[in-house]
Structure 1
Amino acid sequence: MRCKSIAAGVLAASLLFSLSSARAADPAPAAAPAIPVGVAQARMKPVSQALEFVGRVESPERVEIRARVKGMLEAVLFKEGDVVKEGAPLYRIEKPLFQADVENAEGEVGRAKAALDLAKIQRDRAEELLAKNAGTVVARDQAIAAEASSKGQLLTAEAHLKTAKINLGYTDIVSPITGKIGRTAFTRGHIVGPDSGVLATIVSENPMYVTFPVSQRDYLEAQKEEGKVDLTNVEVRIKFSDGTTYPEIGRINFVDVSVSRSTDTVVMRADVPNPKGALIDGQLVRVELKSGTPQEKIVVPQAALVADQGGVYVFVVEDGKAMTRRVKPGGTLGAGIIIEDGLKPGDQVVVDGFEQLRPGASVRATPAAGLASGG
């Protein structure tokens, strides 16, 4: 019996040894590969105080073209949507009737001049006869009055001629300003006149105005130090409805003289260059005012921000690992985001490849092309 127990123990020991050897021979599980990510450095940048408002683009010059005389529209001389120069012909109204009025007025002037010449001769003759006691005072006075009447008739005839020439000139409708012209309300063959309404509208394009209401509180914040009203250094930036920023910088050129009692706002206006015609009359835009001494703040690319139910966070690379940091955004700066809290200068934030990241995951970080500056 004792021999059987010893044999059983030896067999069990052999099996345990075999199992241990087999486990030792199995390869160790491979470590998860590092995830490649693009990073950008959080950097300090000068940031000016900014206030944002809703504004509307306005053309400094807006002219409604109207007919000043009545007649058939003979020609439309422009292409809708084109830029027209000051003095360029726009419409032509038929001329024959107005030309006839001019010729008729010229005839009246001729008759009035002839009547005046005759009146002068008769006055001279009456005065000569009176001097020789061959005429009467009454005849002389009548001759003087006839001459004065002829002078008045000549003035009236000359005024009629001038009016006729002006009306003839109104048959050629020209552009009073340089700007872009809109659609024409009438085409060739229509009868137009002073009661026809607007034929077309012309708006100037460069520069453009942007008007926006500013609350009393924001207006005071936009002032310079020591309460001095100095708006010459305030930059005016325009943002379109799609979020893009207009490249030209505007300057404030007008502040209204009174505050609206219903809204407690004051209307301000900026003069903005528009060399390429990107700003359109009546356009609704966002207006950003930047003033004051710039402050150094942390800026990262917009691509670094991730949002969830808890707020906004970013992935930061630390010792080859991806870690999350909750951050507090504070506005935009170009293509970057200002970070008020949650990051420090020099942090490497992930801007590309974070879709598969989890906190603590191993990463292989390389600078992201075009985003290394953080905005």
Structure 2
Amino acid sequence: MSKIESSFDKALAKLVQFKNAVKVRLCSVWQKQSPRFDALKRLDYPTVKSFVLQFKWRILLVLVVLYAGSKVYDYFFPASEKAGGPITVTSVVVEKKDIPLIIEATGTIVSNSIVDIRPMVTNTVAKVEVKDGQEVKAGDLLFTLDDRNDKANYEKLKALADDAQKQYLRAKELVAKNFISKAGLETSLANAKSAQAAARAAEVQLSFDYIRSPINGRAGIVNVFPGSLVQASNIVSTATSSTATSSVGSMVTITQLNPINVQFVIPEKDIPIMLENQLDGEAMTVKVVVGESGKKTYEGKVLVIDNQVDPSIAAVRVKAQIPNDDKTLLPGQFARVSLVANTLKDALAVPSQAVIINARGKMVYVIDKDGKAVSKPIKVVYEYQGLTVITGIEPGDRVVVEGKQNLRPGSKVREAKSPTPANTSGAPAPASSTATEKK
């Protein structure tokens, strides 16, 4: 215990010695510098004026050097690189616009009308009037079957019908002269009507030997030839090649190509948007691109939305009609469809890259009138191809697009270029575009 007390006393003695040495040193410095302070106290206006006039050019030169040095420093070390300097950003001015609500889908080109030509009777093909790929009109003769038997039967029954009609007319004259009874007249009338009905039935049977096109369209590949036996059944003919034997279900298929339809499916979540537009009486428009090249876009109108949802895919079928004047579209082709389901009126849209997602939700930086960044929480209504419709801001706000990663609320900003209106002209329009909320 005595050793610890002895060490403490020694340390305390050294601290006192150091304190006394500092006091002595400060006193000596004060004694040396005090005459100079006394000289400053004796300075007056004439002395200062005399000094300035004597060394005015030297003083002016020092001031010029100091000013030039400050400018050079600002040039090589701009304010933006110093702590607290403004941050360079790019912004857009938000304006109200009508934004089309676009839903994208994939579909298939289908014919507006397609007919498989099949025989109504069992007979032999006498003549083929149509060629492969020929354009035909409704009523054009396609095939002629062997009509000899049917024609003879029709002529026979037609003659009997004419004779029965004459017998009826003769009976009317005889009744007027009371040569026959009224019962005999009625029997003659019944015989005439029966004969005429039999003649009309024979005429219908004869018409089956002349197969005509029921629609306007293009004929496909003809599957029968003169002399082929056709039957009133699903299987019309059988073709044999060097590798296989196949049965064909129709004599020829007539397909209407202009106009033509496109059929696609729309997710269940987008059905209310389409139905709302349909209730307003407005025909929804579509833009269709066929093939990988996408050189041409076809525009058309929605014909029908199916009356039920397919539960296996949670989607509804939609059919639209598009023009096909050059007849380059064929049924079965793959198509990409952009459906304008609705229009958001007076919407506020910004580039999608302006939207910031963090733990608190979605927000954007808006530049206030003092040139400072202000964070505003937003709600995304619709997003499509780099364009996002949002709520939570006002028309005319300047929204930061580039440089937002360096911003904090209250940060000073400097515009890299003049702010321009947000490009909301369009989206169209693919990533599946979705309306997260109807405005």
Superposition TM-score tier, normalisation by shorter sequence: 0.5 to 0.7
| Residue 100 (structure 1) shift | 0.9
Contact 1:248 1:273 (8 Å CA) reproduced:
yes
SS in 2 for 1:78: coil
SS in 1 for 2:156: helix
Is residue 172 of structure 2 the alignment partner of residue 172 of structure 1? no
Provide the rounded CA distance (Å) in 1 between the counterparts of 2:138 and 2:225: 22
Q: Deviations over 1:213-266 (max 9, x none)?
A: 222212234566xx8844736431223342526422122121223333444322
Q: CA, structure 1 residues 298+246, in 2 after alignment: closer, same or farther (shift >3 Å)?
A: farther
| Residue 202 (structure 1) shift | 0.8
Is residue 134 of structure 2 the alignment partner of residue 82 of structure 1? yes
| Residue 157 (structure 1) shift | 0.9
Q: CA, structure 1 residues 191+278, in 2 after alignment: closer, same or farther (shift >3 Å)?
A: same
Unaligned runs of 5+ in 2: 1-91, 237-248, 354-382, 389-399, 404-427, 429-439
Provide the rounded CA distance (Å) in 1 between the counterparts of 2:133 and 2:184: 59
Task: Describe how 1:186-335 pairs up with structure 2 within 5 A.
Answer: 186-195=224-233, 196=236, 198-222=250-274, 229-230=279-280, 232=282, 234-242=284-292, 244=294, 246-290=296-340, 291-293=342-344, 295=349, 297=351
Contact 2:287 2:300 (8 Å CA) reproduced:
yes
Q: Which residue of 1 aligns with 2:422?
A: none
Is residue 143 of structure 2 the alignment partner of residue 105 of structure 1? no
Task: Describe how 1:325-364 pairs up with structure 2 within 5 A.
Answer: 338=386
Is residue 146 of structure 2 the alignment partner of residue 94 of structure 1? yes
Q: Which structure is richer in relative contact order (CA contacts within 8 A, separation 6 or more)?
A: 1
Question: Which structure has the larger Rg?
Answer: 2
Provide the rounded CA distance (Å) in 1 between the counterparts of 2:315 and 2:325: 31
Unaligned runs of 5+ in 1: 1-42, 129-139, 300-329, 333-337, 346-374
Provide the rounded CA distance (Å) in 2 between the counterparts of 1:106 and 1:157: 8
Contact 2:351 2:401 (8 Å CA) reproduced:
no
Q: Deviations over 1:33-75 (max 9, x none)?
A: xxxxxxxxxx99x985432222222212112212234332111
SS in 2 for 1:276: coil
Q: CA, structure 1 residues 174+223, in 2 after alignment: closer, same or farther (shift >3 Å)?
A: closer
SS in 2 for 1:279: coil
Q: Which residue of 2 aligns with 1:157?
A: 195
| Residue 86 (structure 1) shift | 2.0
Provide the rounded CA distance (Å) in 2 between the counterparts of 1:163 and 1:190: 26
Provide the rounded CA distance (Å) in 2 between the counterparts of 1:233 and 1:147: 63
Letter in 1 for 2:222: T
CA RMSD of aligned residues (A): 3.6
Q: CA, structure 1 residues 49+117, in 2 after alignment: closer, same or farther (shift >3 Å)?
A: closer
Q: Deviations over 1:313-372 (max 9, x none)?
A: xxxxxxxxxxxxxxxxx876xxxxx488x9859xxxxxxxxxxxxxxxxxxxxxxxxxxx
Is residue 145 of structure 2 the alignment partner of residue 145 of structure 1? no
Q: Decide which structure has greater helix share.
A: 2
Q: CA, structure 1 residues 103+176, in 2 after alignment: closer, same or farther (shift >3 Å)?
A: same
Provide the rounded CA distance (Å) in 1 between the counterparts of 2:308 and 2:140: 40
SS in 2 for 1:108: helix
Provide the rounded CA distance (Å) in 2 between the counterparts of 1:244 and 1:297: 26
Letter in 2 for 1:272: I
SS in 2 for 1:166: helix
| Residue 147 (structure 1) shift | 2.5
| Residue 284 (structure 1) shift | 3.0
| Residue 179 (structure 1) shift | 0.6
Provide the rounded CA distance (Å) in 2 between the counterparts of 1:123 and 1:234: 71
TM-score norm. by structure 2 comes to: 0.49
Letter in 2 for 1:66: R
Letter in 2 for 1:182: G
Letter in 1 for 2:332: G
| Residue 116 (structure 1) shift | 3.2
TM-score norm. by structure 1 comes to: 0.57
SS in 1 for 2:308: coil
Letter in 2 for 1:116: Y
Q: CA, structure 1 residues 104+158, in 2 after alignment: closer, same or farther (shift >3 Å)?
A: same
| Residue 158 (structure 1) shift | 0.9
Contact 2:123 2:231 (8 Å CA) reproduced:
yes
Letter in 2 for 1:171: D
Provide the rounded CA distance (Å) in 2 between the counterparts of 1:188 and 1:165: 23
Letter in 2 for 1:240: V
SS in 2 for 1:249: strand
Q: CA, structure 1 residues 110+82, in 2 after alignment: closer, same or farther (shift >3 Å)?
A: closer
